[in-house]
C-alpha cells in the first residue's frame, strides 16, 4: 500500500487515463478526489471501481473555470485536510482541421481546458502544497507537447504550453519542497484516440490507427495503465529527487 493515507486529486477522472489512475491509486490505499465535467460519469466511475465510502470524493467541475477549480481544491481540503498528489489530467482534443480552416470556438475550448485548466489547477493546488511544504504534481502533456503533427495545431500548442508550465512551476515549487513533473504519452487507447482517428479519416479510422501504430517503435498504442504506472512512480517517494521532468510514455516514439 504505497499511498496509504495519501490524498490524491485527479481531474478528468471519470474516463480514460484519469479513471485508470484513480483505480491504481485507490488500489495502493490512497484517498481519491475525482474531478470531472460529468456528474453521472463520476458516479458510474465510483461504482465501477468499487471505491469505499469515506475513501473518495466526487466533484463536478469545469477545470477551465477558475472559481470551479478553487471549489474542488477547497472541497478536497475540507474533506481530507490536505493534498499530497495532484494529477492535472483533464484535457480535450478539439477538432481535426488544418490551421487555415481551424474554427475559433475549438481553439478557445482547447486553450481554455488544456492550458487555463492546468494553470488554475497548479495555481490553487500549489497554494495548499506551499503551506504543507510537501506534495507532488503530475501535469498531463502528450507526445503532442514534444513534436508537431498536422491538423491538430491547437492541441499541439496546448500540450507544448503544459511543458512550459511544468518547467516554470517546478522551479517555483522546489523552493517549498514540492515537485512538478509532466507525462507525455503517445497515442493511448481511449475515447480521445477514437475521436482523433475518425477526425483524420472518417471512413478509414482503423487504417489511421494502423498507420499511427507503425510509427511507434514498440509497435502498439499505450494503454491507460501504462500511463497510470508512470504517474504513480512520479508521485511516489521513489521519485523524490525528480522534478521539472518531461517524461515520455511513448513506446519510443519521441526517440524517432
Q: Applying CB under 6 A, which residues contact ligand NAD? A: 11-12, 14-18, 36-38, 41, 61-64, 89-92, 113, 117, 140, 142, 185, 187-188, 190-193
Work out the angle between the directed axes of helices 16-27 and 224-235 (0-180°, nearest 10). 50
Work out the angle between the directed axes of helices 117-132 and 66-80 (0-180°, nearest 10). 30
CB of 126 vs ligand NAD, minimal distance in Å: 19
Q: Which is nearer to ligand NAD, 132 or 195 (CB)?
A: 195
CB of 91 vs ligand NAD, minimal distance in Å: 2
CB of 19 vs ligand NAD, minimal distance in Å: 7
C-beta separation of 109 from 92 below 8 A: yes
CB of 65 vs ligand NAD, minimal distance in Å: 8
155 catalytically annotated: yes
CB of 117 vs ligand NAD, minimal distance in Å: 6
CB of 195 vs ligand NAD, minimal distance in Å: 8
Nearby residues of 48 by Cβ (< 8 Å), 6 or more positions away: none
d(CA 31, CA 67): 23
Q: Which is nearer to ligand NAD, 1 or 231 (CB)?
A: 231
Q: Which is nearer to ligand NAD, 30 or 152 (CB)?
A: 152
d(CA 58, CA 177): 28
Q: Say which of 56, 72, 120, 155 is annotated catalytic.
A: 155
Q: Which residues are catalytic?
A: 155
Amino acid at each position: 500500500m504505497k499511498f496509504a493515507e495519501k490524498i490524491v486529486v485527479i481531474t478528468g477522472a471519470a474516463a480514460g487515463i484519469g479513471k485508470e489512475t484513480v483505480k491504481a491509486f485507490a488500489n495502493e490505499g490512497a484517498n481519491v478526489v475525482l474531478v470531472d465535467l460529468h456528474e453521472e460519469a463520476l458516479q458510474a466511475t465510483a461504482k465501477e471501481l468499487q471505491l469505499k465510502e469515506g475513501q473518495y470524493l466526487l466533484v463536478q467541475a469545469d477545470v477551465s473555470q477558475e472559481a470551479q477549480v478553487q471549489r474542488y481544491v477547497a472541497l478536497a481540503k475540507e474533506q481530507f485536510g490536505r493534498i499530497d498528489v495532484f494529477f492535472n489530467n483533464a484535457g480535450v482534443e478539439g477538432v481535426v482541421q488544418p490551421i487555415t480552416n481551424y474554427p475559433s470556438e475549438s481553439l478557445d475550448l482547447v486553450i481554455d481546458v488544456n492550458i487555463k485548466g492546468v494553470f488554475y489547477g497548479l495555481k490553487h493546488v500549489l497554494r495548499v502544497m506551499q503551506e504543507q511544504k510537501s506534495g507532488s504534481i503530475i501535469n498531463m502533456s502528450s507526445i503532442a507537447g514534444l513534436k508537431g503533427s498536422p491538423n491538430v495545431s491547437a492541441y499541439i500548442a496546448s500540450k507544448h504550453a503544459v511543458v512550459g508550465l511544468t518547467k516554470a512551476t517546478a522551479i517555483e515549487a522546489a523552493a517549498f519542497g514540492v515537485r512538478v513533473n509532466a507525462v507525455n504519452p503517445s497515442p493511448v487507447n481511449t475515447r480521445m484516440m477514437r475521436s482523433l482517428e475518425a477526425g483524420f479519416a472518417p471512413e478509414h479510422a482503423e487504417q489511421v490507427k494502423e498507420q499511427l501504430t507503425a510509427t511507434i517503435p514498440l509497435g502498439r498504442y499505450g494503454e491507460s495503465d501504462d500511463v497510470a504506472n508512470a504517474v504513480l512512480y512520479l508521485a511516489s517517494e521513489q521519485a523524490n529527487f525528480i522534478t521539472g521532468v518531461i517524461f515520455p510514455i511513448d513506446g519510443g516514439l519521441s526517440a524517432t
